[in-house]
Amino acid sequence: MCVFVGLLVKGIYELWGQGTTYEELERAVMAYPEERKLPYLTPESTFKIVVDSFGKGRVNLKKPDHKFFVMETDDYGCNNGLPPVAQRTVFFGREVGAADRHLLPTYQLKSRKYIGPTAMDAEMAFLMANQGLARPGKLVYDPFVGTGSILVAAAHFGAMTMGADIDIRVVRDGRGPDCNIWSNFEQYKLPEPLCILRADNNVPPWRPGLKEVFDAIICDPPYGVRAGGRKSGGRKLIKGTVAPYTVPDEKRDSHIPSTAPYSLAECVHDLLHLAARMLVMGGRLVFFFPVVREDGVANPAKYPEHPCFRLLASCEQILSMRYSRVLLTMVKVGPYTEEVEKAAEERRREFRENHHKWMEEGNLHSAVFSPADQAAAAADGKPAIDRDSKPKYRGKYV
Amino acid sequence: MRLLTHNMLASNARGAVTGYPLKLQVVKWSTKEAEPNPEFLRGMLPKIDWPALVAATQALGLPELLPEAPPTDAELSAEGAAADEGSALRRLHRALLEIHIEEGALVCPDTDRCFPISRGVPNMLLHEDEVRN
């Protein structure tokens, strides 16, 4: 029996028969060719029959050689939002293979030692690692590693991992010696990451000439809805008119650098540039991208593009009427050339020079949380509500 | 921090020309054994700056660990290389993946900017006045 690494396909079954009643089902199974049934009905082999019905529990017996399923669709009064069942149908079939969904309870966040407010849900992290083709011998990098939830999934599939984060409290300290990024890997007996470093993806610390090292980059960039992105070079950028702040020499060692907000557009640009440079050809970039839904749909024309990448898949996860996130899977199809490097440098200069403009244009937080009528007014072309009545957001979203 | 990481990093502070290779200052280091993965090492070798890796092992006081020239693909693929303690494969594995710098610093060769390594995590973040314009 085979086991898939995929999680969304629950299982594959060889259909032996179906009917609207058990009598009809029995006749169908009897009529199914003997030569297809006999190999699984030998006296030496063990089997079990699982009765699986939507909305009902499943019998659990230990380790049979073959598993047969009776599946039934019927109206139990509760259909979890699915269309009502038109016709009761009963199926009988042999299980050919099934997904290893046991790993979900093992890895669920509520029993993980160290998590943060934006830790990636375990099932989603596994799906992302699969999209990135995390496998033994591959190297996976997460530039916004946080508590390591995506790398844990990649390591489970046998990949080597590396991660970076701008927040030293997360990558180095955690919540103590036994509750940190490293302990999350120990908890599941997974090999620890090759490297965890504190770095800013806006000012990447890679040596000159280094490229094509990672097989996949898998991440959930900070977009400023739940957690805002930060980048190096704080005060100077925020207060452009005052003299640049200079750290006094005697304070250099213990100085905690202030950071500036990181606009979504710049963050995504830096991510694509990192991937263009650091992924091997054919390597994959998998990341979530936030979308403000227009007329109730996500607009694929707004997904980011890059000359080195081709979009393989986009899966929308709707989060509210106005906001969703899309899991984008891209494959590197073009080499990192001097031309690509120059274009990126040009773009970076523009981001630096027009920092405020980019912060306002890409302000997803206000698009998502502002009152609906204001958004509607803006859409009608009416002047946006004046500054004084600007909604005030409670709490800090750093 | 493993020497593999040291081999990939550079100083990106204002004033640095190449910012590479970073000088290694070691206060505390340790060895953690790991299962060698020949496929991974063969794939990684072409990306490694060999002289910088050799210099790093010397800074650790292990001048015998690596030869002057990088191992060939044939040496890494040799039968039994993974099991033989002294093989080129195992030496490379040890240098890149089994040595951990726990406490110390990476120093920029151009500006002497010191990037601390604490609890095994190198801190490459720049102060606000060091970011290039």
The residue to which tokens 């409290």 are assigned: A169
- Can you give the pLDDT at residue A352? 81
A87-96, A368-377, B8-17, B114-123: segment of lowest average pLDDT: A368-377
In tens, the pLDDT along A28-77 reads 999 999 999 888 888 777 777 777 655 444 455 566 677 888 887 766 66
**Which of A185, A181, A161, A186 is CA-nearest to residue A169?**
A181
Quote the CA–CA distance of A326 and A215 in Å, as a whole number.
Answer: 21
Strands (E), A201-308: 214-219, 230-232, 259-261, 279-292
Tokens describing residue A196 = 């965890």
Angle at A177 between CA A176 and CA A178, to 5 degrees: 95
In tens, the pLDDT along A76-125 reads 666 556 666 677 888 888 888 877 777 888 899 988 989 888 889 999 99
**Which of A186, A205, A199 is CA-nearest to residue A144?**
A199
Quote the CA–CA distance of B133 and B113 in Å, as a whole number.
Answer: 18
Nearest neighbour of B129 by CB, restricted to A168, A205, A246:
A246
**Which of B109, B110, B104, B97 is CA-nearest to residue B123?**
B104
Task: Check whether residue A230 and residue A328 sit in a common domain.
Answer: yes
Quote the minimal CA–CA distance from A328 to chain B in Å: 27
Quote the CA–CA distance of A220 and A119 in Å, as a whole number.
Answer: 9
Question: A391 pLDDT exceeds 70?
Answer: no
Quote the CA–CA distance of A193 and A146 in Å, as a whole number.
Answer: 13
User: What's the number of domains chain A is made of?
Assistant: 2
Tokens describing residue A123 = 């099932």
Q: Where in chain B are the domains?
A: 3-130
- Can you give the pLDDT at residue A104? 84
Report yes or no: B1 at the A interface, CB cutoff 8 Å.
yes
Question: A251 pLDDT exceeds 80?
Answer: no
A67-76, A117-126, B48-57, B92-101: segment of lowest average pLDDT: A67-76
For A48, the domain range is 11-100
Which whole-number Å values give the CA distances from A372 to A198, A284, A389, B113, in the listed order? 39, 37, 14, 50
Whichever domain contains A123, its CATH number is 3.40.50.150
Cβ pair A204:B40 closer than 8 A:
no
Task: Check whether residue A282 and residue A212 sit in a common domain.
Answer: yes
- Can you give the pLDDT at residue A287? 97
Question: A389 pLDDT exceeds 50?
Answer: no
Task: Check whether residue A352 and residue A287 sit in a common domain.
Answer: yes
Answer yes or no: are the C-beta atoms of A229 and A222 closer than 8 Å.
yes
Residue A371 lies in a domain: no
Angle at A214 between CA A209 and CA A220, to 5 degrees: 115
Cβ pair B124:A205 closer than 8 A:
yes
Phi, psi of A112 (to 5 degrees): -85, 140
In tens, the pLDDT along A334-384 reads 999 999 999 999 998 888 888 777 777 666 666 666 655 444 444 454 444
Q: What is the pTM of this model?
A: 0.82
Residue A380 lies in a domain: no
Sign of the Cα pseudo-torsion (A61, A63, A68, A72, in order): positive
Residue A377 lies in a domain: no
- Can you give the pLDDT at residue B41? 92
Which residues in chain A have Cβ-Cβ distances shorter than 8 Å to B5? 162, 194-195, 197
- Can you give the pLDDT at residue A360? 72
- Could you tell me what percent of chain A has a pLDDT over 70? 78
The residue to which tokens 């290779």 are assigned: B21
Contacts for A362 with CB less than 8 Å, ≥ 6 apart:
A224, A263, A264, A265
The residue to which tokens 């303690």 are assigned: B85
**Which of A203, A121, A195 is CA-nearest to residue A166?**
A203
Residue A92 lies in a domain: yes
Task: Check whether residue A110 and residue A70 sit in a common domain.
Answer: no
In the beta sheet, which residues pair with residue B28?
B103
If DSSP codes are grouped into helix, strand and coil, which group holds residue A256? coil
Which residues in chain A have Cβ-Cβ distances shorter than 8 Å to B35? 191
Task: Check whether residue A244 and residue A146 sit in a common domain.
Answer: yes
Tokens describing residue B16 = 């640095």
In tens, the pLDDT along A267-315 reads 999 999 999 999 999 999 999 999 888 777 788 888 999 999 999 999 9
Quote the CA–CA distance of A372 and A293 in Å, as a whole number.
Answer: 13
Quote the CA–CA distance of B6 and B101 in Å, as a whole number.
Answer: 10
Cβ pair A210:B127 closer than 8 A:
no
- Could you tell me what percent of chain B has a pLDDT over 90? 74
Task: Check whether residue A273 and residue A297 sit in a common domain.
Answer: yes
Mean pLDDT within A228-257: 65
- Can you give the pLDDT at residue A265? 86
Q: What is the DSSP letter of A201?
A: T
Which overall architecture, per CATH, does domain B3-130 show?
Single Sheet (2.20)
Amino acid in the structure at residue A151 = L
Strands (E), chain B: 23-31, 99-107, 114-118, 121-122
- How many CA within 13 A on the CB side of residue B85? 1
- Can you give the pLDDT at residue A78? 60
Cβ pair A233:B123 closer than 8 A:
no
Answer yes or no: are the C-beta atoms of A145 and A181 closer than 8 Å.
yes
The residue to which tokens 């299962």 are assigned: B35
For the complex shown, is ipTM > 0.90?
A: yes
Burial classification of residue B103, based on how many CB atoms lie within 10 Å of its CB (0-12 exposed, 13-18 middle, 19 or more buried): middle
Tell which of A72, A100, A128 closes a domain.
A100
Helix, strand, coil fractions of chain A, as percent rounded to 5: 30, 25, 45
Task: Check whether residue A236 and residue A290 sit in a common domain.
Answer: yes
Confidence at A239, pLDDT banded by 50, 70, 90: low
Q: Which of A84-116 are b and which e, b meaning 16 or more Cβ less than 10 Å from the residue's Cβ?
A: eeeeebbbbbbbeebbeeebeeebeeeebebbb
- Mean pLDDT (chain A) is 81
Task: Tell whether omega for the bond before A335 is within 30 degrees of 0, i.e. cis.
Answer: no
Confidence at A390, pLDDT banded by 50, 70, 90: very low
Cβ pair A166:B2 closer than 8 A:
no
Radius of gyration of chain B (CA): 16
Q: How crowded is residue A139: how many other Cβ atoms within 10 Å of its Cβ?
A: 23
Task: Check whether residue A87 and residue A233 sit in a common domain.
Answer: no
DSSP string, A93-131: EEEEEEE-TTHHHHH-GGG-SS--TTPPPHHHHHHHHHH
Residue A3 lies in a domain: no
- Can you give the pLDDT at residue A236? 52
Higher per-residue pLDDT: A103 or B57: B57
Task: Check whether residue A324 and residue A203 sit in a common domain.
Answer: yes
Question: Residues of chain A whose C-beta is under 8 A from some C-beta in B?
Answer: 136-137, 139, 160, 162, 166, 168, 171-173, 191, 194-200, 203-208, 210, 212-213, 232-236, 244-247, 252-253, 255, 257-259, 352
Task: Check whether residue A21 and residue A151 sit in a common domain.
Answer: no
CA trace torsion A48, A50, A51, A54 (10° rounding): -170
Answer yes or no: are the C-beta atoms of A272 and A219 closer than 8 Å.
no
**Which of A205, A218, A163 is CA-nearest to residue A185?**
A163
Quote the CA–CA distance of B125 and A197 in Å, as a whole number.
Answer: 9
